[in-house]
Amino acid sequence: MINNTDAFAEYLLKEKNYSLLTLRAYLDDVRGFEQFIKKDDSGATLQDVHYTQVRSWIVSLVEEGGLSNRSVNRKIASLKAFYRFLLKAKQIEFSPLQKHKALKTEKKIHLPFSEKEMQDVVEYNDYPDDFEGVRNRLIIELLYTTGIRRAELISLHLGSYNAESSTLKVLGKRNKERIVPVLRCTSDVLSEYMVKRRALPEVIDSQVLILNASGKKVSESFVYRLINCYFSVVSGKVKKSPHVLRHTFATHLLNNGADLNSVKELLGHASLASTQVYTHSSLAELKKVYKDAHPRNRNNS
């Protein structure tokens, strides 16, 4: 019989279309649990564990490993996926996690950049007129005007942009493609960037859109450092990252009248629940408009 973890890995890769990074994370979590149950004398395998052993692992992760509830929930999600796979493959009759409830976590709220902060970075910053200056501006423009993820940005290739329709083909999570409109301002920077890109003395990753000065694909850490550097000048917010730019994209659209379903499609979310985390900021804006506009509030002020 094929090793269950090997079969699980093939299932995640071929049927669920998970990325290699996600695949490795799931397998690490399952193998971590497997190592844990091997430490006792019960002789239990992954196929015949009881929830009490899962609960003991959770306690160990929190008390000995010092993990947060959020990190523990992520590991348990991997384990749940593994046991769903075993059920589907008829390797077990019931999942030991069938009645498990996730640990309570505090909702993480990333404050978006204000429209003024965005204007200061995009319009008023003096970008050098060389390859790196134009490339840096393009990265910021793309993240803010399309809402794409950092991983999606660095995976863009030359054929991703359609100049005729001004759209961008984005490969999202689980290899799902979506088409995102590109604003004129971003298209202009993209055209300028392509001129600079063609003038590079050497291009190693020839099909990749966003390159460094050596002609290689940029890394995720590079994009993070770039965003942190540019926004540290204009913003005192603690978190300054590509994800905050994605959050800013969604919040500014909602604040200016976009409906939730449209924002969901633009972000590439599978459900509205994922998009609703961005509504707290637009709700704050709505409250301000409400207080400023309602006659009862005006009369009492």
Which are the catalytic amino acids?
149, 173, 243, 246, 269, 278
Cα angle vertex 69, ends 101, 221, to 5°? 125
Q: What φ, ψ does residue 180 adopt, rounded to 5°?
A: -120, 130
Residues 6+ apart with CB under 8 A from 118: 144, 248, 252
- Tallying the residues shown for the chain, one arrives at 301
| CA–CA dist 282, 89 (Å, integer) | 45
Tokens linked to 271: 């459900």
Q: Which amino acid is at 16?
A: K
Asked if residue 204 lies in contact with residue 214, where contact means CB atoms within 8 angstroms, the answer is: yes
Nearest of 198, 196, 206 to residue 158 by alpha carbon: 206
Please, which contacts does 225-232 make with residues 24 or more away whose CB atoms are closer than 8 Å? 226/136, 226/139, 226/140, 227/139, 227/140, 227/143, 230/121, 230/125, 230/136, 230/140, 231/113, 231/117, 231/121
For residue 219, give Cα distances in angstroms to 155, 202, 208, 210, 224.
10, 18, 12, 10, 9
